């Protein structure tokens, strides 16, 4: 009897130690159930997935390089980064790519809002009213739980869309830690059917500290980071600015891990605000988002706005000193001063 009792205990122990292969089980990789994601079925048995798919889905190694689904925990502000395994049917996923790739394939139930829709024909950020209309027309509500993704995190598309939505005051907002290619490699559900939602009323609650204005940049209160190509930095820049190529915050198609970003941003003071500027929203937003991940207080700005204000200031000073004597010159000064536009305003 004792032998049978002991044998039974050993058998139960062996059964308990067997790996879980059922789609709905909660294992050490997390509580995410792939077969329940967005109320769909991936169509493959989880026991047949490859090693690389299991790593992408979040099972296995604790190393952030091998297990990107756990990377969000390593950043000081990691709650703005969404691991693929944590996406659920309660999230509204938005594909912000500017290519026609959405029609070819996208994350199941994702809607499409190309990030270029946030920019007007002159390359400026649209007004608050126009931005709210873009989101409302797409069926987005201010209290939706949003997950954004683009061609890749290295493209800056998703980071720019994130910045715009954060500027509009959207709180429940994250970036997917990976691209559509990563999603497919993990065997997660995708589709080609376009998803259209009924129009919504999007009421923004503007966060003014997301975008810097000229006076703030000129005040010297913030550290200035130039995200333009280094050749442009060498030809002219905001005084006191530090050059930072956006490629330095990227490894492969993802944002670098917290250790590497700590090295990249080691020259910056953690307790002093930062302004990132460029002549391209994707470049500046990419650096801005990486700074957000690392817990820095950062704003965004444009090189065009700085130059326009500088020209206007010089011409205004010249006018005050009576250096402009003819009507044509005064007209030129007036035109130059009227070309700048505060970001995000009407």
Backbone dihedral angles phi then psi of residue 289, each to the nearest 5 degrees = -65, -40
Q: Where are the beta strands (DSSP E) in the chain?
A: 81-82, 92-95, 106-107, 111-112, 146-149, 173-176, 190-191, 223-226, 242-243, 250-251, 254-255, 274-278, 298-302
Instruction: Yes or no: say if 200 and 143 are a contact pair by the CB < 8 Å rule.
Output: no
- pLDDT value at position 124? 93
What does pTM read for this prediction? 0.75
Which domains does the chain show, CATH number per domain? 62-207 (3.40.250.10)
Could you tell me if 121 and 215 are in contact, meaning their C-beta atoms sit under 8 angstroms apart? no
3-state helix, strand, coil in the chain (%, to 5): 45, 15, 45
Going residue by residue through the chain, which has 346 residues, state the pLDDT in tens, using 9 for 90 and above.
444 443 443 444 434 444 443 333 333 333 334 433 444 433 333 333 333 333 333 323 333 344 555 788 999 999 999 999 999 999 999 999 998 889 999 999 999 999 999 999 999 999 999 999 999 999 999 999 999 999 888 999 999 999 999 999 999 999 999 999 999 999 999 999 999 999 999 999 999 999 999 999 999 999 999 999 999 999 999 999 999 999 999 998 899 999 999 999 999 999 999 999 999 999 999 999 999 999 999 999 999 999 999 988 767 665 555 543 344 433 333 333 333 333 433 3
Angle ∠(256,112,100) on CA atoms, nearest 5: 85
């Amino acid at each position: 009897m004792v032998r049978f009792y002991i044998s039974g205990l050993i058998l139960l122990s062996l059964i308990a130690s067997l790996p879980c292969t059922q789609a709905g089980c909660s294992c050490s990789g997390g509580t995410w159930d792939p077969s329940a994601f967005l109320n769909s079925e991936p169509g493959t048995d989880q026991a047949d997935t490859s090693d690389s798919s299991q790593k992408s889905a979040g099972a296995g190694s604790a190393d952030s390089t091998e297990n990107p689904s756990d990377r969000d925990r390593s950043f000081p502000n990691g709650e703005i980064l969404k691991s693929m395994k944590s996406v659920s049917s309660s999230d509204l996923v938005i594909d912000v790519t500017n290519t026609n790739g959405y029609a070819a394939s996208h994350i199941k139930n994702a809607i499409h809002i190309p990030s270029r829709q946030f920019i007007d024909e002159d390359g400026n950020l649209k007004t608050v009213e126009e931005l709210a209309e873009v989101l409302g027309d797409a069926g987005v509500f201010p209290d939706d739980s949003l997950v954004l993704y683009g061609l890749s995190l290295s493209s800056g598309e998703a980071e720019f869309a994130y910045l715009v939505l954060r500027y509009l005051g959207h709180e429940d907002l994250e970036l997917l830690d990976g691209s559509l290619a990563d999603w497919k490699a993990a065997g997660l559900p995708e589709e080609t059917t376009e998803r259209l939602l009924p129009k919504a009323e999007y009421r923004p609650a503007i966060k003014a500290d997301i975008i810097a204005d000229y006076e703030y940049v000129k005040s010297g209160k913030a550290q200035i980071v130039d995200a333009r190509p280094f050749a442009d930095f060498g030809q002219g820049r905001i005084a006191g600015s530090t050059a930072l190529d956006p490629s330095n915050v990227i490894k492969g198609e993802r944002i670098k891990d917290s250790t590497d970003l700590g090295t990249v941003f080691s020259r910056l003071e953690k307790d002093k605000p930062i302004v990132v500027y460029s002549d391209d929203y994707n470049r500046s937003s990419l650096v801005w988002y990486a700074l957000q991940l690392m817990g820095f207080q950062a704003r965004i700005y444009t090189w065009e706005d700085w130059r326009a204000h500088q020209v206007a200031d010089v011409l205004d000073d010249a006018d005050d000193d009576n250096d402009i004597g003819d009507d044509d010159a005064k007209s030129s000064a007036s035109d130059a001063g009227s070309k700048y536009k505060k970001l995000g305003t009407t």
